[in-house]
């Protein structure tokens, strides 16, 4: 059965492969992917610190509800989750999505948004290593593993972990 997956990003600073590879895995598996962002228009993707392509925003996060989707993917990039965690609407959407029990997959720096949403306490997560103190300070347990599944949270460290991240996401949708 096809599921609807929300990919939530800020308007820039998104690590390209952390959006495009999970997107491709989801759509190749027959699911529908939709890009949500803070604003209409396009999202600027990056390959590390270099601008790459853009991707059209399907809907603003302020115009959707949790019930519209079966899963949420939070791509990384340093600037992307930093901008998301500064937006009250985006943080509330992430908080409510985690609370819904539906799968929430966050890679690299994206767990910053989970920290801001106050949803890592008592949870085990992987992330880019520089987030480990933030995760621990928020009451979570940081793990240096390619993918960690704890309840409905799926987390990974970096782009090298995308195959395991995608597999865990697709397993959660089946």
Which residues are annotated as catalytic? 108-109
Q: Which residues pair with 163 in a beta bridge?
A: none
Between CA 148 and CA 168 the distance in angstroms is 9
Please report the DSSP string for 127-138 in residue order. --GGGHHHHHHT
Please report the DSSP string for 28-87 in residue order. HTT-EEEEEESSSSEEEEEETTEEEEEEE--EEGGG--GGG-SEEEE---SHHHHHHTT-
Contact 49, 27 (CB under 8 A): no
């Amino acid at each position: 059965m096809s599921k609807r997956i929300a990919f939530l990003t800020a308007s820039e600073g998104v690590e390209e492969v952390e959006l495009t590879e999970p997107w491709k895995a989801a759509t190749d598996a027959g699911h529908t992917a939709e890009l949500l962002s803070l604003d209409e228009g396009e999202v600027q993707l990056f390959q590390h610190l270099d601008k790459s392509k853009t991707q059209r925003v399907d809907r603003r996060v302020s115009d959707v509800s949790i019930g519209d989707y079966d899963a949420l993917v939070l791509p990384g990039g340093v600037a992307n989750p930093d901008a998301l965690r500064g937006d009250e609407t985006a943080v509330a959407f992430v908080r409510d999505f985690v609370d819904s029990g539906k799968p929430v997959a966050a890679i690299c720096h994206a767990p910053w948004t989970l920290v801001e949403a106050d949803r890592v306490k008592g949870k085990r997560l992987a992330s880019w290593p520089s987030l480990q103190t933030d995760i621990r300070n928020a009451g979570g347990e940081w793990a240096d593993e390619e993918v960690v599944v704890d309840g409905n949270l799926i987390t990974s460290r970096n782009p090298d972990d995308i195959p395991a991240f995608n597999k865990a996401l697709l397993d959660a949708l089946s």
